[in-house]
């Protein structure tokens, strides 16, 4: 499961088109977001441990509680619950064990929207390209199916959303597009109940208005753009054989020289810890190369002259341009088809 924060339905259509262009099989469904359409409620709802959540009228900021632990099911507890239920938690450069199940997060459109407002419109294609790259990376590492889930959509209004008034004494929590009401509040605005607890009433900002002045980006309301969310299932192309898992064991810099140690072993086949050399596969092993790139799956972005083959699991790459020192890049391991099977973030000249 790949969680993308703020993957609006129409943006997900664009993502599906990009994935199809990569030759991946895509199916897309639609669901309704939690009420209100905010991350605190929606991320739990789309997770595989949603059944542990229980809303209470005393919960704060639309974060439901863990039903058995009596604690807020916030990000930290959500991750712990996933791990306790047997889900691998993968960072952006990790591939995990493709024979199991995993939860990973990538491509935070919501954070960018809150930080930069209208600039999100320009950034969406770049974020989607990065998501596609990450999915290709996971597929190349052996994952056969990825389900992409999200928590809510959003509104983006040039010039800012029109302000709508809601007296502060009526609210316990106020956000731009929604507000939790006090027990005695009798607002004129449309009022719904919280998806996680019917005892908590929520005032919804009408149309595309906001309870907070000057907001260009926002979510939490009832528009289709906020409330209709996608679920995409991505399946690896038929006929693609399972690839060995590759692990980058060590990355060290000596000036502008990068020293790499990697290890590969096929799932279910113990003992294959070596990596074949440029001379060809031996003892059932495959040929691998390593490269330093600005963009993971773009050979033209190499800053190490296309990289080198691994020899007994080791390689040394040199960055010739001294002005690149300090730049963040990707170290990538490639199979004999040029596909990325492992990656690691690194900084040129770093420790």
Q: What is the pLDDT of residues 262-293, one digit of tens each?
A: 986 554 333 344 454 444 444 445 678 999 99
Q: From the centroid of its chain, how far is CA 209? A: 29
**Could you give the CA distance from residue 276 to residue 279 in angstroms, rounded to a whole number?**
8
Among 37-41, 123-127, 173-177, 340-344, where is mean pLDDT lowest?
Answer: 340-344
Residues of the chain above pLDDT 70, percent: 91
Tokens at 240, concatenated: 């693609």
**Could you give the CA distance from residue 171 to residue 201 in angstroms, rounded to a whole number?**
10
Q: Nearest-CA neighbor of 137 among 344, 339, 299?
A: 339
Confidence label for 339 from pLDDT (cuts 50, 70 and 90): confident
43-54, pLDDT tens digit by residue?
A: 999 999 999 999
Q: Domains of the chain (ranges plus CATH)?
A: 2-156+223-235 (3.40.720.10), 168-212 (no CATH), 245-347 (2.60.40)
Is the confidence at residue 121, as pLDDT, over 80? yes
Q: What is the pTM of this model?
A: 0.74
Q: What is the pLDDT of residue 318?
A: 95
The dihedral formed by the CA atoms of 134, 135, 141 and 143, expressed in degrees to the nearest 10: 150
Tokens at 156, concatenated: 């983006």
Contact 264, 288 (CB under 8 A): yes
- Return the number of other C-beta atoms located less than 10 Å from residue 99's C-beta: 12
Q: What is the pLDDT of residue 244?
A: 55
**Could you give the CA distance from residue 76 to residue 54 in angstroms, rounded to a whole number?**
16
**Could you give the CA distance from residue 129 to residue 106 in angstroms, rounded to a whole number?**
12
Please state the φ and ψ torsions of residue 168, each to the nearest 5 degrees.
Answer: -60, -35
Is the confidence at residue 245, as pLDDT, over 80? no
Is the confidence at residue 340, as pLDDT, over 90? no
5-55, pLDDT tens digit by residue?
A: 999 999 999 999 999 988 899 999 999 999 999 999 999 999 999 999 999
Locate tokens 């959540």: which residue?
53
- Return the number of other C-beta atoms located less than 10 Å from residue 345's C-beta: 13
Task: Work out whether strand 102-105 and strand 2-3 pair parallel, antiparallel, or are unpaired.
Answer: parallel
Residues of the chain above pLDDT 90, percent: 70
**Could you give the CA distance from residue 49 to residue 245 in angstroms, rounded to a whole number?**
27
Instruction: Tell me the average pLDDT of the chain.
Output: 89
Q: Alpha carbon of 350 to those of 251, 254, 324, 327, 343: distances in Å?
A: 10, 8, 11, 9, 17
Tokens at 79, concatenated: 């991750």
**Could you give the CA distance from residue 131 to residue 109 in angstroms, rounded to a whole number?**
11
160-207, pLDDT tens digit by residue?
A: 999 999 988 888 888 999 999 988 888 777 899 999 999 999 999 999
Q: What is the pLDDT of residue 275?
A: 52
Q: What is the pLDDT of residue 200?
A: 93
Q: What is the pLDDT of residue 267?
A: 46
100-116, pLDDT tens digit by residue?
A: 999 999 999 999 999 99
Please state the φ and ψ torsions of residue 305, each to the nearest 5 degrees.
Answer: 55, 40
Q: What is the pLDDT of residue 351?
A: 65
Phi-psi region of 157 (alpha: psi -120 to 50; beta: other; left: phi over 0): beta
């Amino acid at each position: 499961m790949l969680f993308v924060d703020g993957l609006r339905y129409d943006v997900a259509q664009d993502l599906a088109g990009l994935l199809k262009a990569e030759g991946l099989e895509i199916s897309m469904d639609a669901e309704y977001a939690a009420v209100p359409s905010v991350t605190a409620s929606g991320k739990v709802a789309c997770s595989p441990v949603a059944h542990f959540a229980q809303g209470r009228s005393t919960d704060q900021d639309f974060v439901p509680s863990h039903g058995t632990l009596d604690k807020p099911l916030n990000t930290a507890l959500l991750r712990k619950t996933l791990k306790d239920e047997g889900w691998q938690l993968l960072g952006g450069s990790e591939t995990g064990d493709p024979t199991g199940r995993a939860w990973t997060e990538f491509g935070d459109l919501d954070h960018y929207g809150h930080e930069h407002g209208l600039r999100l419109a320009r950034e969406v294609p770049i974020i989607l390209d990065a998501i596609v790259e990450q999915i290709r990376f996971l597929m190349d590492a052996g994952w056969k199916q990825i389900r992409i889930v999200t928590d809510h959509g959003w509104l983006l209004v040039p010039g800012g959303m029109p302000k709508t008034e809601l007296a502060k004494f009526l609210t316990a929590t106020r956000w731009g597009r929604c507000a939790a009401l006090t027990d005695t509040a009798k607002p004129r605005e449309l009022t719904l109940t919280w998806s996680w607890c019917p005892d908590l009433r929520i005032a919804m900002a009408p149309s595309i208005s906001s309870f907070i002045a000057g907001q260009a980006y926002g979510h939490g309301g009832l528009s289709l753009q906020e409330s209709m969310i996608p679920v995409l299932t991505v399946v690896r192309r038929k006929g693609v054989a399972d690839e060995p898992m590759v692990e980058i064991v060590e990355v060290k810099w000596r000036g502008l020289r990068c020293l790499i140690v990697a290890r590969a072993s096929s799932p279910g086949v113990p003992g294959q810890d070596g990596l074949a050399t440029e001379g060809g596969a031996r003892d059932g092993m495959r040929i691998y190369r390593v490269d330093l790139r600005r963009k993971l799956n773009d050979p033209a972005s190499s800053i190490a002259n296309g990289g080198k083959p691994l020899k007994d699991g080791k390689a040394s790459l040199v960055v010739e341009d001294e002005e690149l020192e300090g730049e963040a890049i990707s170290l990538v391991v490639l199979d004999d088809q040029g596909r990325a099977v492992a990656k690691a973030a690194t900084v040129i000249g770093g420790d």
